[in-house]
Amino acid sequence: MIFRLRYLSLFLLPWLASCSSLYFPPPPQVPLFTQKGEFSGGIHTDWSSNTSLQGAYAVGEHIGVIGDASFLHSNKRKKAEDFDFGEFGAGYFTRIRDRRVLEFYGGYGFGKSKRVERDSRAGDVNLSVQGNLTKYFLQANYSSKESTTWHFFDRDWPVSYGTALRLSYMQLTDIKLNNAYHEPEDNIFLEPITYTRVQVLGPVQLQLISGSNFGLRHRKYLKAANSVFQLGIVVNLGGQEGKR
């Protein structure tokens, strides 16, 4: 039942999400580090072409650093969107009873965003809004290093699941509304996500992220109108699996 609900939500989220916000949440990084020297990298995207490149490295036995860059450039007849955003952070990871991984990260993000809405017939610009974004975030990741197995195409596919919860404080400054300055906005976002990873070849895994984005303040241009939904490829090198 849970499996069916998980994949039903994947089809509903893109239709439920509005695109009126200038903030497009990057997928939370979940490297699941277990030891010093481990590396995790990935690339993710969604139906809006919001693409994120991620990298993380365990610099110590319990200390990891993360970084990512996200971008979206869409130019349609009715609407054009440009979003460029980067994040970096550091945190603590540990194993629980040798089978599960718990991680905590904090960090900073910055970028810029722009949206232009046009008349579909005449092509005239009805609305142009842009601004600079800054972000401070805290994040917790929890997952098991063990996996279940799916069997299809005469092959066993190891599958693992996990969750992440991110709390972000966002600021939108230098806002220009139709080339006129607009007062800054801020918001607090709560982003719970679940993810499914399917091991396809060696350290290469397909990852499916499904989640939500809740804004704790009512804002016009910086609100939780875009959900967290991403499909990507993840590579983990140098880590431990299952028991030690």
User: What does the H/E/C string look like for the chain?
Assistant: CHHHHHHHHHHHHHHHCCCCCCCCCCCCCCCCCCCCCCEEEEEEECCCCCEEEEEEEECCCCEEEEEEEEEEEEECCCEEEEEEEEEEEEEEEEEECCCEEEEEEEEEEEEEEEEEEECCCCCCEEEEEEEEEEEEEEEEEEEECCCEEEEECCEEEEEEEEEEEEEEEEEEEEEEECCEEECCEEEEEEEEEEEEEEEEECCEEEEEEEECCEECCCCCCCCCCCCCEEEEEEEEECCCCCCC
Q: What is the pLDDT of residue 5?
A: 38
- pLDDT over 50 at 46, yes or no: yes
For residue 207, the domain's CATH number is 2.40.128
Residue 25 lies in a domain: yes
The number of domains in the chain is 1
Residue 148 lies in a domain: yes
Question: What range does the domain containing 216 cover?
Answer: 2-237
Mean pLDDT of 199-204: 91
Q: What is the pLDDT of residue 97?
A: 79
Mean pLDDT of 12-18: 39
Q: In this predicted model, which residue has the larger pLDDT, 84 or 8?
A: 84
Q: Which of 18-22, 68-72, 94-98 has the lowest mean pLDDT?
A: 18-22
Residue 52 lies in a domain: yes
Q: What is the pLDDT of residue 147?
A: 75
Q: What is the pLDDT of residue 184?
A: 96
Mean pLDDT of 28-49: 92
Which pTM does this prediction carry?
0.85
- pLDDT over 60 at 34, yes or no: yes
Mean pLDDT of 102-114: 97
Residue 242 lies in a domain: no
Q: In this predicted model, which residue has the larger pLDDT, 12 or 204?
A: 204
Mean pLDDT: which of 75-79, 110-114, 228-232 is highest? 110-114
Residue 244 lies in a domain: no
Q: What is the pLDDT of residue 122?
A: 65
Residue 61 lies in a domain: yes
| Average pLDDT along the chain | 87
- pLDDT over 60 at 102, yes or no: yes
Residue 243 lies in a domain: no
Residue 106 lies in a domain: yes
